[in-house]
Chains A and B, each alone.
Chain A
Amino acid sequence: MDNNDVVAARRRALQEAIHSGETVMVSPTGQVQLPGESDDPTRPGISVPQGKLA
C-alpha cells in the first residue's frame, strides 16, 4: 500500500467511525483522530461530544 492508499484508508476509517457514532478525538491542532491515534499520549485531545449537526 503506498502512502496515498494509507491516507485514503485512514480517512475511510475515520468517516465510518464518525458515521456510526463511535468516539472521535480532536487534537490540539484541530486534527480529527480515532482514539489512540494521538502522537502524544499525555495530550490525547478532546473527545467530541455526542451530537447531531443542526
Chain B
Amino acid sequence: MKVKNKFLNPDFFINRELSWIDFNGRVLEEARDPENPLLERANFLGITQSNVDEFFMVRVASLNKLKTAHVEKKDAAGLTVAEQIEAINQKEHHMVARRYTTYNRSLIPLLAKQGIKIVSVRDLNDGQYEALRRYFNDEVYPVLTPMADDSSRPFPFIANNSLNIAVRLHLPTSTEAKYAIIRIPQLFKRLIRVVNEPNTFVLIEDIIKEFIPLLFAGYTIDETTTFRVIRDMDLDVAERDTSDLLLAVQEQLKEREHGSVVRLEIEKQTSSALARRLITNLKVSSQAIYYINGPIDLTFLKKLGREVNGHADLRFTPFTPYQVPELDEHHDIFAEIRRRDFLVQHPYDSFNSVINFIKQAAFDPQVLAIKMTLYRVSGNSPIIKYLGQAAQQGKQVTVLVEVKARFDEKNNVRWAKKLEEMGCHVIYGLVGLKTHSKTILIIRKEHDGIRRYMHFGTGNYNDVTAHFYTDIGLFTCNNEMGIDSTNLFNTLSGFSQPPYYHRLHLSPKNIRKFIGHKIDNEIAHAQAGDPALIRMKMNSLSDPHIIAKLYEAAAAGVKIELIVRGICCLRNDIPECKNNITVHSIVGRLLEHSRIYYFSNGGKEEIYFASADMMKRNLDRRVEILYPVLEDDLQQRGIAIFDTLWRDNVKARNLVGTQFKRIDRRGITSFNAQEFFISEAKRKQRQIRKESKRRNKKASHFIPLLNDQN
C-alpha cells in the first residue's frame, strides 16, 4: 500500500499504550457515571483493574524487555522505549488515584446506603467476629504457609498476580526486626460474607491480618501490609502479539530475565523499612511502585454482583435477546438460508441462531461435513457437544482450535482433545500465525448437487461472551463465498494458497491491500469533486500505515467517520485533514466488539464486516476474514446499524484532538444506541408473540406438537 510519507510524521500519532490507558479511563468513567446502576458501576471498576493488570503483564512487560535489550527504535509517535515506560507509569499513577477515589468516596458509601457493605473486622459485633474467627481457624489457618525471610532463607518467590501479606515482627527479647511473607491462596474467595446480615462482606486479607499472631506464636507483630506483584507473563515471545522488533531481540534475552516484576502494588501506609525490603528483593524500579489507598486488586468487584443477594434495581435490567424465527429450532435453517441471507446482531439477536445452525447440521442426514474455527471456547459449550455428536453420526468434522489464544491455552487444549476423542479432525493452529477468523462452513448434499452454507462473524463462537459483546454475523449459501470458504479451509489444512478469492478478503496481507485500495478509490471520488465517505467501526486503530492513509484521504476531501472503542492512535486536529475526521468511542453496558467497514463508493455503497481490527497484528500476523454483505436489504440494515451507533450521544465520546470528551447533551435529546437496540429486540419479540397469539386464536382445532421428523 503506497502511503504519502508526510503523513507518517510522528507528531500525527498518539502512542498506542497511552491511548489504551485513556480507553481504560473511559471504562472508569462508566464506574463513575451515576446514570449506571450501582452494582454495574462496581463491575466496571473491577474491569478497569483486570484490564490494567493484563496491560502490565503483556504490554509493559514487552517494553521492559526492549529496554533491557537496549533497543533504540521509536514508536510511530516518536517515543523511545524508556520514554514510553515513564509516560505509562505517570499516567497510570493518576489513574490509580482516580480509581481508588471512586472506590472510597463514591462506591463504598453509595453501596453502604443500599445495605451492601464491605467492612473492616473492627466494625463487626461479637457474634460476627466469633464466626470469622472460627472460619479462620477451621478453613484458612491450615492452608497458610508463612515464609520467613532472613539470612538463612532466600526471599521467597512471589508469583504473578498473587495477593501477599508482608509482616514485620520481632521477638519480645530482641529489637532485631524480622520479616515474613504469607501468600493468600487463590482458592479463597476475596469477599467473605458476614453472618446475620444480607450483604455485608469482609476482605480475606483483613481477616488474615486480624488473626495473624496465630501464625507467629511467640512473636510480636509490628506491621502487616498487603502487596501484589505483576510479572512479565509474555513468556512465549515468538508466538505472542508483540511488536516485530521483540521477535527479533528474543535471542538476546537471558533466561533469568523472563518473568521480571513489572509492577508492585503496596498499601499506602506501609513503613519505609518494610517497603524498602520488598522493593529491593523484588528488584522493581521506583516508577513501577504503586502506593494504594484501599484494597489492592479491585477485581473482586467483578464478583460482587454475584455475591450480593437481591437488589435487582442496582443492576441492568436483563433483556431476552430476540430469536430470529427462521433461525430457530422449529424451522429448517437450511431452507431458510437458501431463500435469503441473514444478518444477526448479537447480543440483541440471540446467539442461539448460531448454535442452532450447528445443531441442525449435526443431525441432518444430508450434511456431509462441518468445518469451523474456534478461537476462544466457553466452558460447557453446546457447540463442542454438537460437533462431537456430528462426528459420531459419521460426518466429517474439522475444527481449527487456536491454542495460542492468550491466557486460554489450557482451556483450549482440553477442549481440543475432547473433540478428537469424539472423532473430530482437530487442527491445533498454524505455525507462525494466529487464526483469528470466525467462520463455519457446512457442506450439504442436496438433490441438485452440493451446497455450502456458511456463517461469518466478527466475534468468537463463545456463548458466554456472546451475551455481553456486540458482534455481527452473516448466514449465507452464496456460491462464490462458498468456494472461497472451501479454499480458505483447504489453505488452513495445509494445502497451497488458491490464486485468488472471489468475495472474501483474507489476512495476512490482503485485507491491508484491499482497505488501502478502497481508500484510494474514495480519494479519487473526492478529487473528482464527488461526495466521498468512509465509515469504520473497530476495537482498535493503531496501524500507522492505515492511519496515514486515512489522513491522506481526509486531506483530499473524503469525510471520515470512525467508531473506535479502545486504542486510537489517530488524532483529528491535524490542519491538513481539514476537520474531515470525526471519531466516536462507545463504552457502555455492552462491550462493542463488531467491526464494520463502509465505503460510499460514488453512490454504489459497500459495507463489509470483519474479524480484524486495524492493527498491525491483525493485518500482518493473523488469519482474518473481511466479508461483504451482498443482499440489498441486509446492506441497508448494516448501514442503519452504523447510523444508530453514530447517533449515540450518551455512551459515545467524541475525539477532540487527542482526547475523548463526552458529548454535550444540553438542548438535544439523549440517545443511547445500545439501549435502543435492546428496546428494538424487545419490540420485535412482542410482535412475534402477538402474531403467534393471533394465529393460535384463528385455529379452530387443536394444534398438536409433533416431533419435527414426523
A binds B: no
> Which residues of A are in contact with B by a Cβ distance under 8 Å?
none
> Which residues of B are in contact with A by a Cβ distance under 8 Å?
none
